[in-house]
Amino acid sequence: MNKIRKGDQVIVLAGRDKGKRGTVVLRKDDDHVVVEGINLVKKHTKPNPLKGTTGGIVEKAMPIHQSNVAIYNPSTGKADRVGIKVDGDTRKRVFKSSGEEIKVA
């Protein structure tokens, strides 16, 4: 079970965007996530008339390692760790500090 999922609010812990908050847009693989507005790079693209894209410089969000982000706890307003609580057959993600269940947006 992935502790950080698509749609979660996260805070960046390390890197040039340290302290910024954003939403996970996609999980690139087991270790990397793409966060909206975080780790932006300028990418030079060629025009492609078949796809209908124009050329130029485009800002694009690149993947960031999941160890460099932590889930945002709205009740405390800080970063928090994620724990797994097993309740019968179901497994739920909970905040480690308070034990309350993580609401999926």
pTM: 0.83
Lookup result for tokens 């999980």: 27
CB count within 10 Å of CB 67 equals: 9
Q: Looking at residue 58, which CATH number applies to its domain?
A: 2.30.30.30
The answer to the question of residue 63 being in a domain is: yes
Helix or strand (DSSP H, E) at 47: none
CA-atom Rg of the chain in angstroms: 17
In a domain, 73, yes or no: yes
Residue pair 76/98 in contact (Cβ under 8 Å)? The answer is yes
Ordered per-residue pLDDT tens for the chain, 105 residues:
689 999 999 999 999 999 999 999 999 999 999 999 999 999 999 999 999 988 999 999 999 999 999 999 999 999 999 999 998 999 999 999 988 999 876
What pLDDT, on the 0 to 100 scale, is given for residue 105? 63
The phi, psi pair for 95, rounded to 5°, reads -75, 135
User: Residue 30 belongs to what domain range?
Assistant: 9-95
The per-residue pLDDT for 2 is: 85
Query: Residue with structure tokens 């724990």?
Result: 83
